[in-house]
Amino acid sequence: MGARLRNKTALVTGATSNIGQAIAEAFAAEGAHVVVSGRSRERGAKVVEGIRAAGGRAHFVAVDLDGSPAASRALAERSREVLGGRIDILVNNAGIYPGEVTTATDEETFDRVYAVNVKAPFFLTADVAPRMAAEGGGTIINLGSWVARLAVPVGALYSSTKGAVETLTRAWSAEFGPRGVRVNAISPGVVGVVAPEGTGSHPAEAMMRGTPAGTIGSAQDIAQAAVWLAADEAAFVHGTVVDVDGGRTGTAVIAG
């Protein structure tokens, strides 16, 4: 167990799998008391069980972040209850990704993706940030995406929501930073999970050919960046989008 986040409390949305889970586990390993939030009680219970088995502190709070102010407020209130009254760190990670092209996207899908990816973190931050400021400060970390700035021919809707989140990061830094709340974002690159059985490699690895890293990243790579942004050593970091993408967006990619 580390101590970089000792005596801190954290709320991580979408923390029952993948990047959110890795962030929650990394925070707990550094001493934070973490709320794991998500829709699946079964997956949430497993994440909490794993954190506790490793000596960390965690609770699960079930929530369907549908974009309504009521859902975001309820999550914040319940999280403060289990965390002893305050939230020191908020990670806006929950999101959904429909891979359709623009012409195949209907209005219902459009509204649902913006509700989860933009409205939910907007109203959650609107609740949490002023309380952080009143209690002496805090840290908010948003999850953007490399596709917000380096376009791909599918997923325009998702890309636009992540562009909105990165813009909100800068706006919230200007709004809440002078009141003691640091707001930053992480822009993950191509992050993989287990390769399909029998393939030997993840299909997304083709997207990383010619980059400095040369391969896909892991959820743990993103989690370590989140720990740094949440910890005191990043005290002078405000309004920044940290690219954790193996050089995908910052360098010319020359395919071999």
Query: Active-site residues: which are they?
Result: 158
Work out the number of other CB atoms within 10 angstroms of the CB of residue 164.
18
The neighbour count for residue 234, using CB atoms within 10 Å, is 18
Neighbours of 255 (CB within 10 A): 7
Q: How many residues can be counted in the chain?
A: 256
**What type of residue is 45?**
A
DSSP lists the bridge partners of residue 59 as 35
**Concatenated DSSP letters for 29-56?**
HTT-EEEEEES-HHHHHHHHHHHHHTT-
Scanning the structure block, which residue is given the tokens 């369907």?
64
Element at 107 (helix H, strand E): helix 107-114
200 — alpha (psi -120 to 50), left (phi > 0) or beta? left
Q: Are 118 and 95 in contact (CB under 8 A)?
A: no
**In which residue are the tokens 């040369």 written?**
214
